[in-house]
């Protein structure tokens, strides 16, 4: 049973560029959440997708957008990258809508230079 | 607004010691409280999940308790081992449809 997978593992981008991160949820899960974790801090909630719609959003600008596909996989897009966007981006999946237990992927390390 | 804090920020103990990590949250109307482990540069591994109706959960050498009235949760690690060295994060989920709020974590180092 595959857990949550994320790609790529590492990514280096230049300021102003755009980036797309990908996540496949754990088998049987249909809800995907994205988090940003800066060095030395706890993860910060970006948004959550269920039934291909963004259901909740944290305090992040519109430069951060996402998508969920019919197979429940998800993408996180960040436009006009800033140096401050450098972080570990974590994807978590859960079963069904509601405050259910979340399972996290290994993360994508994004470095903006 | 829910805020989650963790004390201490860092902890170093000799192997074999029992230890307690603390997590505090400002809003007692939580749905569940989840403890995670994170190794350097890696994702989060779920350790224990406590539903709001529960008082504690146990898994092996780990025991987590929840006291909603005081806004506190503790993670007890028995007979610590060097392999327990990691950052431990707690996360509070308030009511349905609310986002998860993470604490900043406690960095644990178990010295052989």
| Among candidates A58, A99, A104 on the partner chain, residue whose Cβ is nearest the Cβ of B96 | A99
- The bridge status of strand B62-67 relative to strand B56-59 is antiparallel
Task: Look at residue B98 in the predicted model and tell me its pLDDT.
Answer: 61
pLDDT given for residue B74 in this prediction? 96
Higher pLDDT, A95 or B98: A95
Q: Which range is least confidently modeled, A49-63, A86-100, B48-62, B74-88?
A: A86-100
| CA dihedral sign, ordered A38, B83, B47, A71 | positive
Substitution target in B4, B42, B99 with the highest count of A β-carbons within 10 Å is: B99
**pLDDT tens readout for residues B25-36:** 988 777 789 999
- As a whole number of angstroms, the distance between CA B8 and CA B57 comes to 21
**Among B60, B20, B36, which residue's Cα sits nearest to residue A43?**
B36
B86-93 and B4-7: which strand pairing? unpaired
Judged by phi (left if over 0) then psi (alpha if -120 to 50, else beta), residue A107 lies in: left
DSSP for B2-63?
--EEEE-SEEEEETT--EEEEEEES----SEEEEEEE-TTS-EEEEEEEETT-SEEEETTEE
Determine which helix (DSSP H) or strand (DSSP E) holds B68, and give its type and residue range. Answer: none
Of residues A87 and B97, which shows the higher confidence score? A87
Neighboring chain B residues of A48 at a CB cutoff of 8 Å: 99
Of B45, B99, B104, nearest to A56 by CB-CB distance is B99
Please name the residue of chain A whose CA is at the shortest distance from the CA of residue B46: A103
- Three-state secondary structure call for residue A41: coil
Closest CA to A44 of B51, B91, B41: B91
Give the 3-state DSSP-derived string for A43-82, with helices as H, strands as E and coil as C.
CEEEEEEECCEEEEECCCCCCEEEEECCCCCEEEEECCCC
Mean pLDDT of chain B: 91
Q: What is the mean pLDDT of residues B42-64?
A: 92
pLDDT at position A100: 77
How many Å apart are CA A56 and CA A82, to the nearest integer? 23
Q: Which residue of B has its CA nearest to A4?
A: B43
- Candidate from A42, A90, A98 with C-beta closest to B105: A42
Please report the sign of the dihedral spanned by the C-alpha atoms of residue B45, residue B51, residue B56, residue B59.
negative
Distance, first Cα to last Cα, chain A: 37
CB B89 to CB A42 under 8 A?
A: yes
């Amino acid at each position: 049973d595959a857990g949550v997978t994320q790609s790529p593992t590492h990514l280096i981008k230049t300021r102003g560029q755009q980036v797309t991160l990908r996540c496949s949820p754990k088998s049987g899960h249909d809800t995907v959440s994205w988090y940003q974790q800066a060095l030395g801090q706890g993860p910060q909630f970006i948004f959550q997708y269920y039934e291909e719609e963004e259901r909740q959003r944290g305090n992040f600008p519109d430069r951060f957008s996402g998508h969920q596909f019919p197979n429940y996989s998800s993408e996180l897009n960040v436009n006009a990258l800033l140096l401050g966007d450098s972080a570990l981006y974590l994807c978590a999946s859960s079963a069904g809508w509601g405050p259910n237990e979340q399972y996290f992927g290994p993360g994508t390390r994004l470095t903006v230079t | 607004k829910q805020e989650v804090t963790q004390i201490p920020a860092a902890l170093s103990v000799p192997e074999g010691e029992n230890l307690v990590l603390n997590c505090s949250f400002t809003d007692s109307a939580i749905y569940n409280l989840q403890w995670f482990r994170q190794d350097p540069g890696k994702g989060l591994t779920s350790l224990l999940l406590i539903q709001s109706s529960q008082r504690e959960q146990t898994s092996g050498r780990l025991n987590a308790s929840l006291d909603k009235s005081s806004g506190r949760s503790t993670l007890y690690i028995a007979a610590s081992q060097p392999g327990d060295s990691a950052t431990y994060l707690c996360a509070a989920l308030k009511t349905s449809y609310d986002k998860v709020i993470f604490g900043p974590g406690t960095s644990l180092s178990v010295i052989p």
